[in-house]
Amino acid sequence: MKALVLDEYNQLNYRDFPEPKIQSDEVLIKVKACGICGSDVHGMDGSTGRRQPPLVMGHEASGEIIETGSEVAKWKKSDRVTFDSTVYPLNDWYTLKGHYNLSDNRQVMGVSPKEFKRHGAFADLVAVPQHILHKIPDYVSFTEAAMVEPIAVAAHAINVSGLKPGDSTVVVGTGMVGTFVVKLLKIFGTTPVIAVDIDEQKLQLAKEFGADYTFNSDDKNLPNKIEGLTKNRGADLAFEVVGITDSVNTAINSIRKGGAVVLVGNLSPEIQFPLQKVVTQEVKVQGSCAINGEYELVLDLLASKKVDVSKMISAVAPLSEGADWFNRLYNKEAGLNKVILVPDNNSK
């Protein structure tokens, strides 16, 4: 088969690669679409330490089952499927407690830190355990289904937030996941939804996805403006979707006393933290990791057309051109959002 392989850091090659061999509980999927995630772009240069070459990256994918293992009963050939990015053990303590995203020995598709190597879906074929599969509804395309993973990350952040209808919310960082947080907050009934970013184009997209107000994070009067929109108290809830000191502080400074901040972004392994403000104002800080059962919700939202991903997709391109698209994303080409790669021998 052909695959887009990270042979060395900053060196992606479209080349022949061994076909995956499925285990008894796995299926073999003919990949129809796979999105380039920001974590793949950051991982390409080795800065995250989680994409050690040689590796086939890619975890935002969809496709069609072409082979099933001997223990697979629910799934059959020709089923249209997408899959969770997390491969988790079923007998783990955290999984059994309903937190498979925190399970010990979990793996992530298309990721290779020191602990494991799990090839992903920038390839003609990918092997996937049956328990992470999800059926694609009839009126959802393969391209749309390749967008489920980032929407599900946004949905999980909201699920762990303690959100209540009518809460006022701030979203700091309106990249891919942040913009979907904005969209889901509107669907779930929060008001107002305030989006903050340093990029005016991203703020415009956030407004199209439902943000009631947008502000540039460089605005020195930002805390006062947010207070003015939230009964002079500050927002009930903030979502930080970047993962750097400045954006975390912006999120914490935007909420009321006793409010909550959900940390979704993790670009920096460590940050400076306003401990005194958090302690003296009883601010709740909640981490959000990956996905924990939100795929079905997101697929239903796509099928009902309550979430439209078309504005987020900048290009659908052949996998053979993937290295060029990676470089364009890495160089932060203006106006470029999600790029979906399609194996050259597959239809869109």
Establish if 155 belongs to a structural domain: no
The mean pLDDT of the chain is: 96
The model's pLDDT over 9-40, given as tens digits with 9 standing for 90+, comes to 999 999 999 999 999 999 999 999 999 999 99
Pairing mode, strands 26-35 and 60-68: antiparallel
- 222 and 112 in a common domain: no
The pLDDT score that the predictor gives to residue 47 is 86
The model's pLDDT over 223-236, given as tens digits with 9 standing for 90+, comes to 999 999 999 999 99
- 142 and 181 in a common domain: no
Choosing from 287, 307, 327, the residue where a domain stops is: 287
Long-range CB contact pairs, 104-111, < 8 A, 24+: 108/50, 108/59, 108/290, 109/58, 109/59, 109/61, 109/83, 109/85, 110/40, 110/51, 110/55, 110/56, 110/57, 110/58, 110/59, 110/85, 111/43, 111/50, 111/51, 111/55, 111/57, 111/59
**Which pair of tokens denotes residue 303?**
């099928």
From CA 218, how far away is CA 91, in angstroms rounded?
47
The pLDDT score that the predictor gives to residue 335 is 87
The model's pLDDT over 288-347, given as tens digits with 9 standing for 90+, comes to 999 999 999 999 999 999 999 999 999 999 999 999 999 999 999 988 999 999 999 864
In single-letter form, the type of residue at position 42 comes to H
Establish if 192 belongs to a structural domain: yes
- 222 and 89 in a common domain: no
Q: Residue 249: phi, psi to the nearest 5?
A: -65, -40
CATH number of the domain bearing residue 244: 3.40.50.720
Establish if 220 belongs to a structural domain: yes
The pLDDT score that the predictor gives to residue 48 is 85
- 176 and 114 in a common domain: no
- Domain with 336 in it: 2-150+292-342
- 232 and 98 in a common domain: no
Establish if 225 belongs to a structural domain: yes
Chain-centroid distance of CA 93 in Å reads: 25
For residue 146, what are the CA distances in angstroms to 1, 73, 216, 309, 336? 21, 24, 30, 10, 17
- 14 and 138 in a common domain: yes
CATH number of the domain bearing residue 144: 3.90.180.10
- 307 and 262 in a common domain: no
pTM of the entire predicted model:
0.95
- 283 and 296 in a common domain: no
From CA 305, how far away is CA 283, in angstroms rounded?
36
Number of domains present in the structure of the chain = 2
Establish if 196 belongs to a structural domain: yes
- 324 and 238 in a common domain: no
The pLDDT score that the predictor gives to residue 254 is 97
**Which pair of tokens denotes residue 308?**
């439209």
The pLDDT score that the predictor gives to residue 347 is 45
- 15 and 146 in a common domain: yes
- 113 and 10 in a common domain: yes
Choosing from 287, 307, 332, the residue where a domain stops is: 287
- 57 and 196 in a common domain: no
Establish if 156 belongs to a structural domain: no
The model's pLDDT over 195-216, given as tens digits with 9 standing for 90+, comes to 999 999 999 999 999 999 999 9
From CA 5, how far away is CA 123, in angstroms rounded?
9
Establish if 347 belongs to a structural domain: no
The pLDDT score that the predictor gives to residue 348 is 40
Establish if 122 belongs to a structural domain: yes
The pLDDT score that the predictor gives to residue 208 is 97
